[in-house]
Chains A and B, each alone.
Chain A
């Protein structure tokens, strides 16, 4: 099952990084705390692979949603937000009309709030047209236990009633604790629960990379959310 670094089936669609995509969303990254690349971490995806994975996801979205007419890309802070903006830039580039984006903070809906001190809230913003009847695609960096996505589904329910909700993630690292799956996956990354996936994005961290480290401390609490939460603080 181990994927070699370049074998994840990227169609390698042409077209460079859309202009402006690098900075879009940087202002809405919320309580983004820039991460430094972990020492001794194994590089799983570099900037090129991330770019190609997002381009492929964008084309899959266009195929599966009939040209992304009613699509709203909702990023989950911190790093889902710039990913949603990058996907939107690609959709805009291909279809020629702007794709709606937003961000959806799920902190207040988490099921593990009482396990740790009060967290800093991220930013929630929804396009003025609302979510009712739209195709909402949740965007996050890592899919792990599925608890963040469950919280996001609850949060969505309080904001409106989308026609469909789909999920796009940059990395699916397995170890689901809830019946949740992603519709669009940048990279399936088989991991052990001892390992920690670090996603670094240019808008937040100054560089694009997905890295894997063996975190001995973090292994003790696999159900406390995805790796992003573990390593953010």
Chain B
């Protein structure tokens, strides 16, 4: 792993475990009377969000602040981007302000990678188009490990709009890296063309998989990215691929239900499932802060020699 976190594909198993173990230690900070560590005092983290986001941006902001970094929030609305400024010019502006890390979310796949070539600081990908969302996958893996005690050997079923989901891609890569067996379930129209090259199984039959699943991860139907008719009606999608209380009954006793948020209640997940004891949705948000603290610490906490920080921490 280099000094950026752009894709899960850049991590090896030890890097991933180091991030999860570090997050485990940092999770304790949330339970302390003083929820702050002085580690990144004097460092500046810029949140550069070209797409709407609630939990990811707030989560990164909370993580940076708990490590005492200065946080500058930038959202495309109300900025010079609205006047037509390019990503590169925005990046150079940030560079001039001395950003030590840039957390970027962008609608274009590859935007984070491009940005990494333009700035001196570390770049953390907070979602680029339909490509990847590595910190979401890390927090999902962290949540699974906390709930079920391990990841190795678990059967994970990821259901829904895989085509538009950066969460699905990052999760398939990470969970496979950590030894889980991942199966994607989606209507054929919502699977990417190259899915056969992903390290996972593909199925179209949710009901046959549920009794064998340790983890079910429901993906949001990303209506805002759908410019064609991917399925006939929302109701039909919900009946075939949505998780309702009856389907949840067929899961094993210990199985958990995850959702990266934001949810479309009643579409991919029923409200009573989302609020059930099996659901980890609220935990995922809390764990997100710990995981992002770990990532920021490992990227920024040591010498800024530009070398491999994670490499040397082992």
Contacts and interface: CB of A to CB of B under 8 A. Distances in A.
B303 interface: yes
Given A121-B25, A124-B25, A159-B33, A116 B303 contact: yes
A124 B31 CA distance: 12
A113 B36 CA distance: 17
Contact of B38 (A115, A122, A123, A154): A154
A108 interface: yes
B25 A158 contact: no
A160 interface: yes
A120 B18 contact: yes
A125 B297 CA distance: 20
B28 interface: yes
Contacts of B153: none
Interface hub of A108, A116, A123 (most chain B Cβ within 10 A): A108
Interface stretch (B51-59, B281-289, B304-312): B304-312
Interface in A105-129: 105, 108-109, 113-124
B298 interface: yes
Main secondary structure of the interface of A (DSSP, over half): loop
A116 B32 contact: no
B26 A121 contact: yes
Contacts of A115: 303
Interface in A139-163: 154, 158-160
B314 interface: yes
Nearest to B18: A120
Nearest to A155: B37
Contacts of B28: 124
B178 to A, nearest CB: 18
Contacts of A118: 297-302, 309-310, 312-313
Nearest to B38: A109
A114 to B, nearest CB: 6
Interface in B1-54: 18, 21-22, 25-26, 28, 32-34, 36-39
Contact of B22 (A109, A113, A120, A158): A120
B39 A116 contact: no
Given A108-B38, A154-B38, A159-B32, A121 B22 contact: yes
Closest 10 CB pairs of A and B: A117-B312, A118-B302, A117-B302, A118-B301, A158-B34, A121-B25, A108-B37, A108-B39, A118-B313, A118-B309
Interface of B: 18, 21-22, 25-26, 28, 32-34, 36-39, 67, 297-305, 307-314
22 contacts: A105-B25, A108-B37, A108-B39, A108-B297, A108-B301, A109-B37, A109-B38, A113-B301, A116-B302, A117-B308, A117-B309, A117-B311, A118-B297, A118-B301, A118-B310, A118-B313, A119-B301, A119-B302, A119-B313, A120-B22, A121-B25, A123-B25
